[in-house]
Amino acid sequence: MIVILKGDVTEAQIQHVLDRVAELGLRPHLSRGTYRTIVGLIGDEDKISQGALRSIPGVQDVLRVLPPYKLASLEAHPQPSVVQVGRVRIGGGQMALIAGPCAVEGPERMRSIARAVREAGANILRGGAFKPRTSPYAFQGLGEDGLKILREAGDEAGLPVVTEVLDPRHVELVARYADMLQLGARNMQNFVLLTEVGKTHKPVLLKRGMAATVNDLLMSAEYILSQGNSQVVLCERGVKGFDSITRNLFDVAAVAAVKTLSHLPIIVDPSHATGRPDLIPPCALAGLAAGADGVHVEVHDCPEQAASDGQQALLPAQFAELSEQLRRLGELFGRKFSSPTGD
Ligand code: PEP
Ligand code: MN
């Protein structure tokens, strides 16, 4: 950490900063320049509150040298991490293709969608049993019945399953049925929930909050990693924008940026990012070209009957076409979709 002092800082103020740093258990290193004096801090930066240092008279700014996400950073782990979900491997050249309905609606429908997405090339099945809805009157999901239905459909199709956990009290329940726990955009900074899923050894799909920076996303991943769970896959699903032409603003640059900062795999969700079936294929392909380790797409066999997000669902045939395009683009970059059977 570096403390930059103001141009008109007094000797007494400099001494106070040096004393305060030493009191906090770090070694200060004073450097006087022609125009600016700076103090380098040597030691464990995490003991220090940047805000508190900034409030000291004579201090202009306090800068971190190392990223605050130690475990998620590329420096901590220069090789890409590979996360395993069932037998599917995500990262390091292997990709996830996650597909399924927004919500689990019933056994028959879940089974037929599972079969269709598996045939089309998906390697992980999705479906929400606990749905985070804007309205308390909207369909909230089938709860534990939904988890059972998803599990059975996944087993029958030969696909591992991912589903969202909304509540720290449900982590154990959801972990009993799912191969991967999804933390949704609305809960990306639910630190109690992050800590709870961190205590499990289940892979986690951590979706970027709709107003979260890349730094916020990596700090949330850090919560999970710091609990001992290293199985984290990030997901770019769009952030709030000003243009209603799409549901959210698909931040494809965030994917490439994460690759420069972290070893964690990152996938894209063009369904929630765009909210438009016609924009899902181009954005999925763009995500993959930007370096994504996979794609997450909502698929429904009858969108007009969907309990949630029917407006953005791809039909199985559309998904099959996209899957083939993604496979071919992946080949160009030397990345392939991991087989659900581990072959
Ligand atoms: C979902 O995956 O169905 C979902 C609610 O996504 P998000 O948290 O990204 O809005
Ligand atoms: Mn959805």
Q: Taking 90 as the threshold, does the pLDDT of residue 10 lie above it?
A: yes
* Predicted confidence band of residue 324 (pLDDT cuts 50, 70, 90): very high
What is the mean pLDDT of the segment spanning 277-284? 98
C-alpha angle 157-161-166 in degrees, rounded to nearest 5: 150
Domain architecture of the chain: domains with CATH: 2-63 (3.30.70.1140), 83-337 (3.20.20.70)
C-alpha angle 304-275-325 in degrees, rounded to nearest 5: 95
Q: Is 168 in the pocket of ligand 1 (CB under 6 A)?
A: no
Q: What is the pLDDT of residue 139?
A: 96
Beta bridge partners of 41: 28
Going 134 to 138 to 139 to 140, the CA torsion angle's sign is positive
Ligand 1: residue of 104, 272, 295, 312 to mutate (most ligand atoms within 8 A of CB) is 272
Q: What is the pLDDT of residue 22?
A: 94
**CA dist., res. 90 & res. 81, Å (int):** 8
Q: Taking 90 as the threshold, does the pLDDT of residue 57 lie above it?
A: yes
Question: Whose Cα sits closest to atom 10 in ligand 1?
Answer: 185
* Predicted confidence band of residue 342 (pLDDT cuts 50, 70, 90): confident
Q: What is the pLDDT of residue 108?
A: 98
188-232 per-position pLDDT tens digit: 999 999 999 999 999 999 999 999 999 999 999 999 999 999 999
Q: Taking 90 as the threshold, does the pLDDT of residue 106 lie above it?
A: yes
> Whole-model pTM?
0.95
What percentage of the chain reaches a pLDDT higher than 70? 100
Q: What is the pLDDT of residue 9?
A: 96
Q: Taking 90 as the threshold, does the pLDDT of residue 58 lie above it?
A: yes
Q: What is the pLDDT of residue 200?
A: 97
Q: Taking 90 as the threshold, does the pLDDT of residue 45 lie above it?
A: no
**CA dist., res. 266 & res. 315, Å (int):** 25
Q: Contact at 8 Å (CB) between 293 and 96? A: yes
Q: Kindly report the backbone phi and psi dihedral angles of residue 130, in degrees, each rounded to the nearest multiple of 5, phi listed first.
A: -115, 110
For residue 124, the SS3 value is strand
* Predicted confidence band of residue 292 (pLDDT cuts 50, 70, 90): very high
Q: What is the pLDDT of residue 48?
A: 86
What is the mean pLDDT of the segment spanning 109-138? 98
230-248 per-position pLDDT tens digit: 999 999 999 999 999 999 9
294-310 per-position pLDDT tens digit: 999 999 999 999 999 99
Q: Contact at 8 Å (CB) between 141 and 103? A: yes
In Å, how far are 47, 130, 176 from 105, measured between CA atoms? 49, 11, 20
For residue 70, the SS3 value is coil
Ligand 1: residue of 124, 142, 207, 298 to mutate (most ligand atoms within 8 A of CB) is 207
What is the mean pLDDT of the segment spanning 62-82? 94
Q: Taking 90 as the threshold, does the pLDDT of residue 47 lie above it?
A: no
* Predicted confidence band of residue 30 (pLDDT cuts 50, 70, 90): very high
For residue 65, the SS3 value is coil
Q: What is the pLDDT of residue 46?
A: 83
Q: What is the pLDDT of residue 264?
A: 98
For residue 117, the SS3 value is helix
Q: Is 272 in the pocket of ligand 1 (CB under 6 A)?
A: yes
* Tokens (6 digits) for 221: 């991943």
Q: Is 102 in the pocket of ligand 1 (CB under 6 A)?
A: yes
State the ligand closest to the CA atom of 164: 1
Q: What is the pLDDT of residue 134?
A: 95
Question: In this structure, which amino acid lies at residue 110?
Answer: M
Q: Taking 90 as the threshold, does the pLDDT of residue 343 lie above it?
A: no
* Tokens (6 digits) for 316: 């199985």
Q: Taking 90 as the threshold, does the pLDDT of residue 18 lie above it?
A: yes
In Å, how far are 79, 232, 332 from 291, measured between CA atoms? 15, 17, 12
Average pLDDT, the chain: 97
* Tokens (6 digits) for 175: 């972990």
What is the per-residue DSSP string for 2-30? EEEEPTT--HHHHHHHHHHHHHTT-EEEE
Q: What is the pLDDT of residue 221?
A: 98
